[in-house]
Structure 1
Amino acid sequence: MPPRVVVVERWGDSRRHSTLSAIVAPAVKQWARLCCVSALAMAPAHAQADEGEGAQGRIVFVTARRVAEAQDAVPISLVRLDATDLERRGVARLADLAGVVPNLAMPTVGAFGAQQPIMRGVFSPIGASTVGLYVDDVPVQIRSLEVAGNPDLRRFDLDRVEVLRGPQGTLFGADSMGGTIRALTRQPQLEGLDAWAGGELSSVRGGGLGREVQAALGGAIVPGRIGARISAYHRRDAGVVDRFDPASGALLARNIDHDATLGLRFAVKAALGERLELTPSLFYQRTARGDLPFYESSLGPFRQSASLRQPGRDRLLLPSLTARLDLGGATLTGVTAWLDRRNRQIVDYSGFFGEIVLGGMVPGIRTPGGSYSRTTVDQAVFTQELRVASADPQASVRWLVGAFYSRSRIAMEQRVVEPGIADLAQSQLGLSVEEIFGLPLLPGGQSYHSRQQIRERSLAAFGQVSWAFAPRWEVTGGLRLSHNPLRFRLMSEGPFAGGSNAVGPRRQSDTPLIPHAALSWRPGGDSLVYLSAGKGFRGGGTNGAVPANGCAADLSALGRAAAPDSYGSDSLWSYEAGVKAGLPDRRLRLSLAAFRIDWRRIQQSVTLPNCGFSYVDNLGAARNRGVELALRSEPSRRLALDFSLGFVDARFRRDVGPPGAGIVAAGDRIPYVPRWSGTMAAEYGFTLPGRLEGFVRTEWRHAGRFRRAPSTRSTAYDPRVYAGEGSDLLFLRLSIGRDGWRLSAFADNLLDSRTVLYRNAELVPATGSPLREMTQRPRTVGLSASIGL
């Protein structure tokens, strides 16, 4: 069956035609530029030949409940995107999923611009993650440290991505209270040969050229016994931000925020006898970023005047071993993995002294010679999971039991280096650093140095049973019991730390019980009606040092003499009702879910706006209500139409803090959560002479407005950044191919939307610190090609 693609709107009158020309003409010029480059060096792009998810007559399988099941039979609101879907929709990295999955957002938050996933409005920018992130069966998410977010996984040799909405803690652990994202890689085959190579050239409006090269080879080494797969890729995303000299205004460098990612993966599958199968694998990803992707609002879009370069590096190494043993009526699966990750970031702190010491009284003042913060985050995690599942998918009773163990260590070190503040302090205040702070600078001109370490362990037992107690009726129940101790240490020194300080070891521990239950009814065909209820849980943690003297006024305004040493767990209950239905020929498919979430003892960051510190506490409760709708129609053999919609109203339920100066108030919205999100797409397939088959696809994506603080009454309120803009983006793709090769042209953000996604005060909001912003990536057009065997 030829691929299907998209038809959008007919442009009938001359007025619309001229409008369309004004929109498309710049994109055509970018494509022409690319074609000239491609004539010299064509870098192909990977697009596996596979039917779309809605292909007629095809049953789509998922492993959302740790066993293979038809997607329509799973009582969970989920989105499944296979490799072809990801390529056609332009999903190149994890963050792009937010544009195609309603009620999933990934805002850029904090001073360092880390991305945090939000599902169904369950968001807290501190502590353990609220969304689980898995590569195959291995969790890779990290606690929120503001500096380093979750790994920015790329669309690299993936078989599919599964986005599971709602709490998944029973099977996936405590960090999945809002949902779970699973990136499932292609596995080695024991028969045949599979090879492909491809790449891409792209041009960003106002920026540079991007490129990507990928290749994979897999197949049987000993047919039926041993197979292997090796794949590699390199991608460079063009930058768009230019850096100017802060004194003279002269241009220093163009497109400084480019990044380059190298990925490697190797896996071997060995069938040892008739029952045992072993799959060792190794995944490596390294990303190097030239500079932060932010510009200064006072200078205008894509212009910054940082005194220093702000490069970043992120390296992830993930070896794992998966073993499967056929026990006859059941299958034993064991997964052992080691995650080793290092993230490094340089940030310009040349305005640090002026903001903290001078309180912003001298606008634009900077440390002579520049100053910077250098932060390193190391994450090391060992995980081991064993589970046994019944083997017969048609049995009236199906079951799964398992055990999970993890041991993790996160170490973060920060150094603020600014030898020039001695001269600045003398020129502005007539005082030395020691006279101001009572302490000299540390060796190497350091004003601040800290090291913190978080050690966590988790030991859990879990199980789930599904019972078809009557024709077309099934009930499912699951339970997870875990013990999660945590230990925290912090050392800080230097003038800005108030001397040498040691915190800890501080300890915190939780022993949660996480249940889940679902009732489903199959009225006929592929239809499913279900009700479910489940608990979500997130472990507590400890706070660092908050200086009582420097922050006394802020703490007093909140009715506190000191910040708390630790904070406890938070939890939620989610209730969901859903329908999955369609016509027998699958030309029309519908998925609809409605949910309510009651969230209590929410872990919230309390901002102390005048001293620049913050702490975490369990404050208040929230209620999230929403719906998710997905509709796919195939009115003809070649035309497919897709519509998806998400709505969530996430609000706090009670006041927290003193009246008029509280942290949140009843009715305030949870920050960074858009109420509405959705997509519309059309895809049309066609045939050309010479047995060429192609498709054209267009897609519109919408994300609604949001707030960066709960309300105007919140201690975190800054009127300059409070309101977050909504976005509307249009995507277009044209592709043709035959006999294993394919050529494509695409335009992402065709209308060149410049919605501001990120807006943050550089250092201390209360001083009127300069704003940093980031917009949607400008219109990007590109050419791609691939060839496969």
Structure 2
Amino acid sequence: MKSKYLLSASFVYALAVPVGNLHAQEAASVQPEVRSTGIEDIVVTATRRDTRLQTTPIAVSAISSQTMDQIAPRDVGDLAAYVPNFSSATIPSFKAAAFAMRGVGVSTIIPFNEAPVGVVFDDFVMPSIQTQLLDTFDLEQIEVLRGPQGTLFGKNTTGGVVVARSKRPELGELGFQVRGEIGSFKTRVFQAAANLPLGDNLALRLVGSYRKTDGYVKNGACFGPITPFSTSDFAQALAGRTGCGDGSGLGGDDVFNGRAKLLWEPTPSISALLQYEIVRDSGEVAGVVNATPPGFLYSNLGFPGGSGDPLERGGLFGGNVGLVDLDKGMRVNVDGVYANIDIDAGPGTISSVTGYRSQRSRLPGNFAGEYSPIALYSASRDDNRRTFQQELRYAASFSDRFDLVAGFFFQKDDIDYCAPTLLGFLDLVSGPGPFGPNSQTPQANCNNQDSRSIAVFAEGNFDITDRLNLTLGGRYSWDKKKFAARAAVFAQALDPDLTWEMLDRSLDFGDFDRFPQGVVRNEQSWSDPTWRISLSYEATPDIFPYVTYARGYKAGGFNEVGQSGVPLIQDQLTPYDPETADSFEVGLKSDLFDRMVRLNLAGFWVTYDDAQRQLLFPFTRPDGSDFTEIRFINAAKVDVKGIEAELTIAPTRGLTLRGTLGYQDGKYKSFNSPTPTARNLAEAPLARTPEWQGSASISYELPVGDIGNLTLFGSLTYTDRTLFNLDLNNPDNDFYLDSKTLLNASIAFTDIDDRYTVRLIGKNLTDELYFTGGQTVGALFRRETYGEPRYFGVEVGLKY
């Protein structure tokens, strides 16, 4: 409560939208006004045209590269706290992004469920949450658009979209930047960018970023004495054993991100940008803490949650057993090729975005976070993902009063997925399986999906008068998905002469042409119109109110199935339908006191229909027996109301006060379960919807004689308590992310020629312990993940 009041009070002095300039990339270029004092203009592309932030009738926040340098984030997720009603977490046992905005968010790793908050990088829609935590080095600007995006941005989203834009090559400019950082947890970061002119109309930009850290969660969990229920020889050989982890770090990073961008401008009317992206991530398995309470199965077997500092009692069963390669870490390899072409054509510009991205993920996890002599519940979620995208746009100004953006979008996204799993706890409960100990013999369920998304869209701006503007936009989307699945099986079920050791990789289980036994298939198509209507009025050159009604759409889909090992029936592949969002928003953007104060306000009310939620769903087998599984269904109708405020104060040269404040009131209007539950789900809290969220920051630059400048930066961010995972029957098993208040600061010295910078960085200076995710898994166990404790680092940079 104290933190909440402190943040509310600080809002009076400093709530902010970060400032900075953006390289114009679209047709009708808008140049920001250069000012010697006050707050500079920000140019955004939230309407697929270059427009001033202060005359754009959308709730959008822009974070410049300069502000990102001051915040010193490790990835885009660290920036969420500086945007109202936008929050970031991680999926338990994984390092995947779990973004949430205006009442909807992600809390599951399932690769077939589309996120309600999209991420677009250099105009390419990023389909996988595993790679949405983008490295911020060499980014020009990040724009966060809040509310449903049903007209212009890639695939539709119901919550919002994060638009990241990297720096472009510059013609005729030779330059480079090198930056290194060392810090707590043996952090080592090396980053470099070079801009190379290759003639009058050709330039190359090379960018590389490498990060290596030790994990801050220690493998210090203790177990025992083991008390098996089984009387088998294998189980009894483990009876009475005890032990503790070696205290080594868990969850460390080892990742390289690289880009090569070639810009060709043969004439003033043609610009072609070819980009190659590479990611090689081989970080350690996520640091997970076992928090299993008394009475749960794991606790009864001798693997209870511990006490004391949870960062000292993470747990990991090591080794590479049964295609679950824990010692190899979490490996994500990405190769992408993208072409962005702009051609001036009459009154406008034709833009083409073509891209192909291959992602290969091998994500082993020790799901319960326990240290043990066997793999109690270890699995790997392995997938190969191939994404192709083509977008064509035409942006034009036909007169002083009318401009238009229209286009076509196509995306093809194919996923091959298998999850080899070791269920060693069954060895202690019922004894080894038919082909050996469950802790050494994997089962694997496999799902494959081919999806297509097509859309046509158009949005026009009409100046009804010199001050009154009307925006009308629409989009029609077609989605089609083909799905195939098989329940978890041992290798011998595919071929009696086969063992898992004979398979080169887990995805061989999912070769449905080679092993068609037990495969179930289905396909489904959906289509839906979405739109946006905005009315804005330039009351004065510095006061800009607007009102917007928008509809968003998130496609339906198929569930990951087959984890239980029970043979599938066709009904399990029944898809869920699309989720829609209707949003009403009223906003005011203002520059006050000769641009010493910038205040932007927005109030919204959004209703989600057919909201996609995970619930227990009943099925009946052909033999008449009943069973249930957790799956996404269209279970809910949701209302979310809120207020968002952003303020920048620049009272004197060199001093900037910034901050944000967000308030949300989210409720279920209905929540329908197909099976009886022990609680009224409609009265449950809305997941990933903190009531209050905000930030306050100060940046002060002062000269140091005639040799350079010293920049002092400090920020305070607050996020209210919020539900992360809902238990369908027992509210005591709901998992909440507790409120958190984080204090960060940095001190930087830059020489007078802006050639080199030395920055001291401090994060979470109060050493607050806070959750980033967690889950109660039935009556088996409870797991938790935590955020980074106090961090200190030194960064040195050189530019030419």
Q: Same-fold call, TM > 0.5?
A: yes
Taking the TM superposition and a 5 Å limit, the aligned residue runs for 1:59-74 are 59-74=41-56
> Deviation of residue 492 (structure 1)?
2.6
Q: 1:546 to 1:129 in 2, by over 3 A?
A: same
Match of 2:301 in 1: none
The corresponding residue for 1:633 is 649
Matched-pair contact (CA < 8 Å) for 2:39–2:598: no
Pick from 331, 337, 342: which aligns with 1:313? 331
Q: Using a 3 Å threshold, how does the CA distance of structure 1 residues 697 and 549 change in structure 2: closer, same or farther?
A: closer
What is the CA deviation profile of residues 484-528 of structure 1, one whole-angstrom value per residue up to 9, with x for unaligned ones?
111111123426999996353211111111111100000112321
Q: SS of the residue aligned with 1:149?
A: helix
Q: Within 5 A, what are the aligned runs for 1:691-730?
A: 691-709=707-725, 715=728, 717=730, 719-730=732-743
* 1:272-306 deviations in Å (ceiling 9; x for gaps): 23322211111112222222122233234121233
Amino acid corresponding to residue 747 of structure 1 in structure 2: G
Where does residue 781 of structure 1 map in the other structure? Answer: 792
> Within 2, Cα distance between the matches of 1:255 and 1:674?
31
SS of structure 2 residue aligned to 1:446: coil
Mean CA deviation greater in 48-57 or 610-619 = 48-57
The Cα of 1:709 is off from its aligned counterpart by: 4.5
**Amino acid of the residue matched to residue 395 of structure 2?**
A
Q: CA deviation at 1:778?
A: 0.6
For 2:757, give the aligned amino acid: R
Q: Deviation digits for residues 611-633 of structure 1, max 9, x if unmatched?
A: 89411211120001001101111
- What whole-Å deviation, never above 9, does each CA across 1:131-184 have from its counterpart, x for those lacking one? 111111100133xxxxx6343211121111111111112111444221110110
2:192 to 192, 215, 239: 215
The DSSP-based 3-state class of the residue aligned with 1:88 is helix
Q: For residue 67 of structure 2, give the secondary structure of its aligned residue in structure 1.
A: helix
Residue 128 (structure 1) aligns with: 114
TM-score (normalised: structure 2): 0.81
The yes-or-no answer on 1:327 pairing with 2:372 is no
The range that moved more, 518-527 or 715-724, is 715-724
1:415 pairs with 2:420: yes
Shift of 1:459: 1.6
Written as runs of structure 1 = structure 2, the 5 A alignment for 1:330-341 is 330-341=348-359
Secondary structure in structure 1 of the residue aligned to 2:682: coil
Q: Which stretch of the first structure deviates more once superposed, 648-657 or 79-88? A: 648-657
Give the distance between the partners of 1:48 and 1:71, measured in 2 at CA: 11
Q: CA RMSD in A?
A: 3.4
Partner of 1:357: none
User: Which amino acid in structure 1 is aligned with residue 793 of structure 2?
Assistant: G
> Which one of 589, 593, 599 corresponds to residue 580 of structure 1?
589
Distance in 1 of aligned mates of 2:378 and 2:51: 52
Change (3 A) 1:509 1:259: same
Q: Cα offset for 1:591? A: 0.3
Unmatched 5+ stretches in structure 2: 1-5, 8-19, 24-31, 224-240, 292-304, 320-325, 495-515, 619-625
Q: Deviations over 1:420-445 (max 9, x none)?
A: 789x36xx65x6634xxxxx469995
- Work out the CA distance in 1 between the residues paired with 2:33 and 2:346: 34
CA contact 1:140–1:339 (8 Å) conserved in 2 = no
Q: Which residue of 1 aligns with 2:76?
A: 94
User: Are residues 1:604 and 2:585 paired?
Assistant: no
Taking the aligned partners of 2:407 and 2:21, their CA distance within structure 1 comes to 35
Which runs of structure 2 are paired with 1:500-579 in the superposition (5 Å)? 502-545=518-561, 565-579=574-588
Q: Which runs of 5+ in 1 are unaligned?
A: 1-7, 10-46, 143-147, 352-363, 435-439, 553-559
C-alpha distance in 1 between matches for 2:563 and 2:747: 58
- Superposed, 1:369-768 pairs within 5 Å as 372-391=378-397, 395-417=400-422, 424=427, 429=430, 433-434=433-434, 440=435, 446-494=441-489, 502-545=518-561, 565-583=574-592, 585-607=594-616, 613-657=629-673, 661=677, 665-709=681-725, 715=728, 717=730, 719-738=732-751, 739=753, 740-761=755-776, 764-767=777-780
Alignment match, 1:356: none
| Shift in Å, 1:349 | 6.5
- Corresponding residue for residue 622 of structure 2: none
Distance 1:497 1:304 in 2: 35
1:718 CA drift (Å) = 5.3
Q: Kindly, what percent of the aligned residue pairs are identical?
A: 21
Distance of 2:335 and 2:564 partners within structure 1: 41
Structure 1 residues 497, 472: CA separation in 2 closer, same or farther (over 3 Å shift)? farther
Q: Deviations over 1:24-51 (max 9, x none)?
A: xxxxxxxxxxxxxxxxxxxxxxx99999
CA shift, 1:676, in A, is 0.7
**Contact preservation (8 Å) 2:33, 2:40:** no
- Partner SS, residue 152 of structure 2: helix
For 2:68, what is the secondary structure of its paired residue? helix
Q: Does 1:277 align with 2:287?
A: no
User: Aligned-pair distance for 1:592?
Assistant: 0.1
Output the CA distance in 1 between the equivalents of 2:742 and 2:540: 38
Q: Relative to 1, partners in 2 of residues 1:90 and 1:548: Cα closer, same or farther, differing over 3 Å?
A: closer
* Structure 1 pair 350–293 and aligned structure 2 pair: CA distance change class (3 A): closer
Deviates more, 1:249-258 or 1:630-639: 249-258
2:220 is aligned with 1:237: no
Kindly indicate whether the alpha-carbon contact (under 8 Å) linking 2:488 and 2:565 is maintained by their aligned counterparts in 1. Answer: no
Q: In the TM superposition, what whole-angstrom CA distance separates every residue of 1:257-277 from its partner, at most 9, and x where no partner exists?
A: 211221111111111233222
Contact 1:546 1:615 in 2 (8 A): no
Q: Distance in 2 between matches of 1:397 and 1:629?
A: 30
User: Residue by residue, what CA displacement relative to the aligned partner does 1:757-785 show, whole Å, maximum 9, x if unpaired?
Assistant: 32323xx3224x2x322222111011111
> Which residue of 2 is the match for residue 189 of structure 1?
170
Amino acid at match of 1:568: D
- Give the Cα–Cα distance (whole angstroms) in 2 for the partners of residues 304 and 177 of structure 1: 36
Deviation of 1:92 (Å): 2.4
Task: Give me the whole-angstrom Cα distance separating, in 1, the residues matched to 2:593 and 2:492.
Answer: 68
Change (3 A) 1:462 1:441: farther
Distance 2:258 2:567 in 1: 48
